[in-house]
């Protein structure tokens, strides 16, 4: 079973700053099957990035994803007020459990 670890647990930043979030897998993950989600309080998650680096429909270009193998990164180039939220990475594999979420990184206002 692949385990995803996200760091840091909490990231305290100011609007306009750059956010760099890490997702590390316990074994190699196909880049095609690594996604990132944003969740705001009281809302369902929203798909941001799929295939490690492709933005989902309607996602602003300040969000970017990169990485391969076991190390993946979500970068928010300049934080907007609406970007303060929890971010989850997720992988999709061929053996159970098919989908695994990381524990999340909370980006909060400094």
Instruction: Please give the residue ranges that form the binding site for another protein (CB under 8 A).
Output: 32-33, 35, 37, 39, 44-47, 50-51, 54, 56-57, 88, 90, 92, 96-104
Please, what is the minimum distance in Å from the beta carbon of residue 60 to another protein?
Answer: 17
Q: In whole angstroms, what is the distance from residue 21 CA to residue 97 CA?
A: 24
Please, what is the minimum distance in Å from the beta carbon of residue 64 to another protein?
Answer: 15
Please, what is the minimum distance in Å from the beta carbon of residue 80 to another protein?
Answer: 22
Measured from the CB atom, the residue of 14 and 42 that comes closer to another protein is 42
**What's the Rg (C-alpha) of the chain?**
13
Map tokens 């193998």 to a residue: 69
Q: What's the CA dihedral at 35, 7, 81, 49 to 10 degrees? A: -10
Q: Are 53 and 66 in contact (CB under 8 A)?
A: yes
Measured from the CB atom, the residue of 15 and 32 that comes closer to another protein is 32
């Amino acid at each position: 079973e692949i385990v995803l670890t996200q760091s840091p647990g909490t990231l305290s930043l100011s609007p306009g700053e750059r956010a760099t979030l890490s997702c590390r897998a316990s074994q190699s993950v196909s880049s095609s099957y690594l996604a990132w989600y944003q969740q705001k309080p009281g809302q369902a998650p929203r798909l941001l990035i799929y295939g490690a680096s492709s933005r989902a429909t309607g996602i602003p270009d300040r969000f970017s994803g990169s990485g391969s193998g076991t190390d993946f990164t979500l970068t928010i180039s300049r934080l907007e007020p609406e970007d303060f939220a929890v971010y989850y990475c997720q992988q999709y594999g061929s053996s159970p459990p098919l989908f695994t979420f990381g524990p999340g990184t909370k980006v909060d206002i400094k």
